[in-house]
Amino acid sequence: MIGLFSLGVAVTGAASFAVLNKSSRQSSTLPLSEAPKIHHDTSAANIKAACQEFERIIGKDHISSERTDLVTHSGSDYQSYAWTEENAILSNVILYPETTEQVSQIVKVCFRRRLPVTPYSGGTSIEGQYIPQFQGVCIDFTRMNHIKEINPVDLDCTVQPGIGWVDLNDELASHGLFFPPDPGPGAMIGGMVGTGCSGTNAAAYGTMKDWVLSLTVVLADGTIIQTRQRARKSSAGYDLTRVFVGSEGTLGLVTEATLKLAVKPPHEVVAVCTFPTLRAAASAVREVASSGIQVAAVEILDEVQMRNINLAALTRLKWKEEPTLFFKFAGSDDFIVKHIAKKVGEITKRNGSSTYTFASDEGERNELWSARKAALWSMLAQRQSPTDKVWTTDVAVPLSRLPDIIELAKADIEESGLMGSIVGHVGDGNFHTLLLFPEEKRPIAEAVVHRMVDMAIEMKGTATGEHGIGLVKRDYLEKELGKETVDTMRAMKSAFDPMCILNCDKVIRMKPVEEQ
Amino acid sequence: MIGLFSLGVAVTGAASFAVLNKSSRQSSTLPLSEAPKIHHDTSAANIKAACQEFERIIGKDHISSERTDLVTHSGSDYQSYAWTEENAILSNVILYPETTEQVSQIVKVCFRRRLPVTPYSGGTSIEGQYIPQFQGVCIDFTRMNHIKEINPVDLDCTVQPGIGWVDLNDELASHGLFFPPDPGPGAMIGGMVGTGCSGTNAAAYGTMKDWVLSLTVVLADGTIIQTRQRARKSSAGYDLTRVFVGSEGTLGLVTEATLKLAVKPPHEVVAVCTFPTLRAAASAVREVASSGIQVAAVEILDEVQMRNINLAALTRLKWKEEPTLFFKFAGSDDFIVKHIAKKVGEITKRNGSSTYTFASDEGERNELWSARKAALWSMLAQRQSPTDKVWTTDVAVPLSRLPDIIELAKADIEESGLMGSIVGHVGDGNFHTLLLFPEEKRPIAEAVVHRMVDMAIEMKGTATGEHGIGLVKRDYLEKELGKETVDTMRAMKSAFDPMCILNCDKVIRMKPVEEQ
């Protein structure tokens, strides 16, 4: 009665309010110290009982607990996280559902039984997004690989999460359409939504955030929601679509995605030019941008990378081992596309480039672009041992600082003694270093990466332009965005997934480090 | 002890878990029936004590409780919500802070004292976003109208919420840059973030969601967060920037925004063409889009709207009173822009247009575009009484359904006996009807709007393409997105603003209708 009585009068202190609301959290953020304790239950008895329920939902044939499956779903050598087969945490069981309804039923079981859930689609993420941290259940979306509809006039399509973007684009080509985000070739839509990925098309077309219209999502308690209808533009309530894009499966599991599509420009030109220095190349890109010329893509590869491509002999051409820009131009009109390509050629020449090779024929275009595509594989070809690791970083900075950070990063890699090359999405301030190292030199690689991230944050940039946070980058978040921002993200996570069963402890730490 | 003991064994029922977690909410959604009761305190004593605190924070001169101020901050005649000066709910006090720190201190006072807060910037929103629902405090951002920095090479700028986009663009022009979202001329950045607005540039450039890099936000408990750094691309944690864009001041108050900028295309052409029917015009737009031609803007005005423009004589030209398309083409090269304009001319001719007027000279361009700009004012000029209302709808549908819904809406308006015209962002499936009516005919207007929204939702579209939800559209949300989706949004709202002090009960109902 005291509590209720105090409502009608002017209360000046905070203490009195506590009486009214002692059961509910009274702040907008959730510091780690106040996060609810995680109580998963992965006891053998709970797993066994759960599996009996899973069998009723998806049938015995779509459940696996074979060690080889569990291992391939537990990590890879291309992760920034120190995964090895020996020390891997394995899920207890892998489930292969076929429908949204099945995923919902599975998650309801996991919610009731407090079983941790790790989602898996293409397995190409490199920040540990699919590495299980607490055993439990892995949900593999491989069987949910259908295109449900393509609406050519509406420029959209609806697909399941297990379809790859390469397969989707093969199908769309017959309609003269394509889906622009182009990450690693094996990536599937589910994971692409999860990481909020991008690729070489991002400079002109934007990232995954810009190409998802609507999502069907299974929440932590099994509730199925759809975030939007199909209008290309909507202000109907909070932007849940973009809440889930980039949330790495920690807020909900995507079981269907309606994607915007673009008209495939009928004409395309690829141009390649080399520069005496990275800075000269960057300055050419800047002049192109500030003149308002729209390029479809512009990528930079450093001389180390060009040398690796020659060494690996993955392309038919022999390349100059100099900092190199790769341009794509595209449009509705052959004449215009060539006109723009020529104008850019004048700009690159003015900025010190001595060569400018360009191709409009499809075969020649693909040949030129093949070097850009071969970057990662040519680095992998340099491995001295099959267990050597490749760590691909992806810091991004405001455009003006890109030449500075690339130069600093190159000098630091050189000093470290590691092999490291640069591949950059120079149009949006994002670049990769590909660091090659044997496991015993991991501390050296780690130190290089940490220094690079520190520099990027110092320059008002980000630890990750497109690969996401996953595991290793969690502890950069506070430095980059501040503790309060991370505490706000944690409040969101806790609202969506109060028992932390969905990809728990990724993106945002939900468990204090000292308890790990 | 029973609860703790049960952790180690296989538990199959939900009941046992309740023991462990009885104090925390165990689901991913928050139905209205379970939302915490709202206990604001707007007693005279509380307001008086709060004002003493506000005086210490911003000084007496920046606090107003004059009736005229309170009234102008309480609504307008252009709202879809039935606002009149007589029945308006007034805030108790209006505060004019100057800094983020002051806003934070004010909100801390409001949080402690449970005072409802309504944010206000340009006052041009039309869905009741700034109409107070619970009295309390109005925070007016007029004094926070500075550009803090412009970074021309990085193509970004940082501004306070009280600057208008028109003023910002005046400043940016000297750098050859511009900020694309172009809603009503009086709109300010704070409100534009709040509604996730767009305008005629959206077809080519996207909406507000696409042009905000980072926000400084004061949360409901006064915590200050920054959502991102300045890199143009980032995957660093949840996309809080886009959580706040379009949240209409219900999740936090924006006190600073870092915006992406575009290079102002040096060459522009405007073209105008008339068609025998709306459907022929729409089919021309579709052919342009599917040929991959990129237009800077394309707008449609129906014959009623063109007649109003002639009647109002707001433009120097006399227009054909037929369905009319307005195109803008822009680019880095005069020759290319004209080439594209001509190609589009061929397409419109093929689709039945008999006229195609185009202008590249700035004066002539502005004259042609002036009709599009005069749409709302020409409708206001038709008012029979100064208290007549204009209701501007903004449904959006998948592109293929736009001609259908426009035809159906036109027939319905005609049958209703109201004056109503059509202005459409035909490039993105979004169109406005401008309905003119005296207050006593509101039920007729309401019925027209409700039928139109029903049709849009039926066609997989949305009740709102760009104006937001505010008050009237709250009850469309469940129909459009489903109860579970709205319950998920409510869980977010409650996590960010547990006592519902920020623009409470807008976008998402937080108080059952029967308690209003």
Residue B290's pLDDT band (cuts 50, 70, 90)? confident
* A416 and A280 inside one domain: yes
Residue B193, in any domain of the structure: yes
A15 shares contact with chain B (CB less than 8 Å): no
Do residue A429 and residue B151 have CB atoms under 8 angstroms apart? no
Residues ≥6 apart with Cβ < 8 Å to A432: A392, A393, A394, A422, A423, A424
Residue of B nearest to A13 (CA): B112
For B195-209, how does the pLDDT look when each residue is reduced to its tens digit (9 = 90+)? 999 999 998 999 999
How confident is the model at residue B373, as a pLDDT? 85
Give me the mean pLDDT over the B295-312 stretch: 94
Residue A470 placed within a domain: no
Report the distance separating Cα B49 and Cα B112, nearest Å.
12
Tell me, what's the pLDDT at B68? 96
B304 alpha-carbon distance from chain centroid: 25
Q: Would you say residue B506 lies in a domain?
A: yes
Say which CATH number the domain at A159 has: 3.30.465.10
The residue segments making up the domain with residue B219 are 147-263
Is B241 in the same domain as B201?
yes
The interface residues of chain B toward chain A in range 395-454, judged by CB-CB distance below 8 A, are: 396-400, 425, 428-430
Q: Is the pLDDT confidence value at A13 over 50?
A: no
A469 belongs to a structural domain: no
What is the distance in angstroms between the Cα of B468 and the nearest Cα belonging to chain A?
Answer: 5
Overall average pLDDT of the A154-177 stretch: 97
Q: Is the pLDDT of residue A425 over 50?
A: yes
Q: Chain A: residue nearest B214 by CA?
A: A481
> Are A244 and A251 spatial neighbours (Cβ–Cβ below 8 Å)?
yes
B195 touches chain A (CB under 8 A): yes
Which of B43, B235, B453 to mutate to probe the A interface, most A CBs <10 Å? B235
The answer to whether the CB atoms of B231 and A398 lie below 8 A apart is yes
Single out the residue of A140, A61, A123, A132 nearest to residue A503, CA to CA: A132
* Rounded mean pLDDT, B274-281: 94
Contacting A residues, span 342-371, partner chain B, CB-CB under 8 Å: 343
Q: Which residues of A457-492 are buried (b: 16+ CB within 10 A; e: fewer)?
A: bebbbbbbbbbbbbbbbbebbeebbeebbbbbbbbb
Subunit contact A17:B112, Cβ cutoff 8 A: yes
Kindly state whether residues A372 and A341 are assigned to the same domain.
yes
Residues A333 and A423 in one domain: yes
Together in a domain, A72 and A175: no
Alpha carbon of B19: minimum distance to chain A alpha carbons (Å): 13
Domain stop point among A263, A283, A315: A263
- Across the interface, of A196, A291, A499, the residue whose CB is closest to B235 is A196
Whether B174 has its CB under 8 Å from any CB of chain A: the answer is: no
Residue contact A234–B473, C-beta within 8 A: no
How much is the average pLDDT of A107-114?
98
The CATH number of the domain holding residue B86 is 3.30.43.10
Chain B contact probe: residue of A26, A27, A28 with most B CBs at under 10 A: A28
Domain boundary at B240, B263, B286, which? B263
Q: Cβ B156–A456 below 8 Å, yes or no?
A: no
Residue B15 has pLDDT above 60, yes or no: no
Whether residue A290 is predicted with pLDDT greater than 90 in this model: the reply is no
Indicate the residue among B247, B263, B279 that finishes a domain.
Answer: B263
Residue B285, SS3 per DSSP: helix
Res A9: pLDDT: 36
- A27 to B498: CB separation less than 8 angstroms, yes or no: yes
- The count of domains in chain A is 3
Q: Is B507 left (phi over 0), alpha (psi -120 to 50) or beta?
A: left
Give B402's contacts in chain A (Cβ within 8 Å): none
**Would you say the C-alpha torsion A282, A284, A286, A289 has a positive or negative sign?**
negative
Nearest Cα of chain A lies from the Cα of B390 at a distance, in angstroms, of 21
A315 plus A430 within the same structural domain: yes
Rounded CA-CA distance B107/B100 in Å is 11
Q: Does B284 touch chain A (CB under 8 A)?
A: no
User: Which residues, other chains included, contact A408 with Cβ-Cβ below 8 Å and sequence gap of 6+?
Assistant: A452, A455
Q: Are residues A446 and A500 in the same domain?
A: no
Residues in B closer than 8 angstroms to A12, CB to CB, are 49, 113
Instruction: Kindly determine whether residue B460 and residue A430, on different chains, have CB atoms separated by under 8 Å.
Output: no
Nearest chain A alpha carbon to B210: A210
Q: Which CATH number goes with the domain that contains A314?
A: 3.40.462.40
Report pTM: 0.94
Q: What residue of B is the nearest CA neighbor of A293?
A: B332
* Whole-number pLDDT of residue B25: 63
Give the chain B residue whose CA is nearest to the CA of A46.
B10
Model pLDDT for residues A383-421, shown as the tens digit of each residue: 998 889 899 999 999 999 999 999 999 999 999 999 999
Phi, psi of A28, deg, nearest 5: -90, -5
A180 falls in which pLDDT band (50, 70, 90)? Answer: very high
- Output the pLDDT for position A25: 63
Give the pLDDT of residue A508: 97
Q: Tens of pLDDT along A216-270?
A: 999 999 999 999 999 999 999 999 999 999 999 999 999 999 999 999 999 999 9
- A28, A45, A397 ranked by CB distance to B221: nearest: A28
Q: What is the pLDDT of residue A20?
A: 36
Q: Give the whole-angstrom CA distance, residue B410 versus residue A158.
A: 31
Please check the confidence at residue A4 and state whether its pLDDT lies above 80: no
Subunit contact A243:B238, Cβ cutoff 8 A: yes
- Nearest chain B alpha carbon to A502: B28
> For residue A3, is it within any domain?
no
Mean pLDDT check: name the lowest of A22-26, B226-230, B450-454.
A22-26
Q: Are A461 and A405 in contact (CB under 8 A)?
A: yes
Lowest average pLDDT, out of A56-65, A84-93, B74-83, goes to B74-83
Q: Is B184 on the interface with A (CB under 8 A)?
A: no
Report chain A's mean pLDDT, rounded to a whole number: 92
Q: Could B290 and A176 be called an inter-chain contact, meaning their C-beta atoms sit closer than 8 Å?
A: yes
A16, pLDDT greater than 50:
no
Q: Mutate which of A16, A158, A234, A245 to disrupt the B interface (most B C-beta within 10 Å)?
A: A234
B219 touches chain A (CB under 8 A): yes
- One-letter amino acid at A414 equals E
Average pLDDT taken over every residue of chain B = 92
Residue A24 touches chain B, beta carbons under 8 Å: yes
* Pairwise CA distance, residues A137 & A151, whole Å: 35
ipTM of the complex model: 0.93
pLDDT value of position B316: 86
Q: Which residues 385-404 of B are in CB contact (within 8 Å) with A?
A: 394, 396-400
Number of H-type helices and E-type strands within chain A:
18, 18
Minimal CA separation from B425 to chain A, in Å: 10
pLDDT of res. B298: 95
Do A113 and A152 belong to one domain?
Answer: no
Contact B491 A495 (CB under 8 A): yes
Q: How confident is the model over B314-341, as a mean pLDDT?
A: 92
A335–B339 CB contact, under 8 Å: yes
* Span B24-38, average pLDDT: 90
A303 and A449, same structural domain? Answer: yes
The 10 Å Cβ neighbour count of residue A273 is 25
SS3 state at A139: strand
Mean pLDDT, range A459-478, rounded to an integer: 96
Question: Cα separation of B304 and B301, whole Å?
Answer: 8
Provide, as residue numbers in chain B, all residues whose Cβ is less than 8 Å from the Cβ of A331.
Answer: 292, 294
Instruction: Please check whether residues B99 and B203 belong to one and the same domain.
Output: no
Interchain pair A49, B460: CB under 8 A: no
Among B156, B228, B398, whose Cβ lies nearest the Cβ of A151? B398
Whether B131 maps to a domain, the answer reads yes
Provide the percentage of residues in chain B whose pLDDT is more than 70: 95
Select the residue of B7, B43, B482 nearest A9 (Cβ to Cβ). B43
Q: Which of A388, A373, A357, A173 is nearest to A262 (CA)?
A: A173
Q: Taking CB atoms and an 8 Å limit, are A231 and B23 in contact across chains? A: no
Q: Report whether pLDDT(A8) > 60.
A: no
Question: What's at B52, amino acid-wise?
Answer: Q
Rounded mean pLDDT of B374-380?
88
Q: Which sign, positive or negative, has the C-alpha torsion A180, A76, A61, A111? A: negative
Q: Check whether residue A303 and residue A352 sit in a common domain.
A: yes
B216 and B115 belong to one structural domain: no
Q: Give B3's pLDDT tier (boundaries 50, 70, 90).
A: very low
E strand or H helix at B63, and its extent?
Answer: strand B63-64
Classify residue A436: in a domain, yes or no: yes
Pair A202, A466: CB distance under 8 Å: yes
Q: Per the CB < 8 Å rule, is B195 touching A235?
A: yes
Question: Does B148 touch chain A if contact means CB atoms closer than 8 Å?
Answer: no
Q: What is the pLDDT of residues A35-68, one digit of tens each?
A: 999 999 999 999 999 999 999 999 999 999 999 9
In a domain, A15, yes or no: no
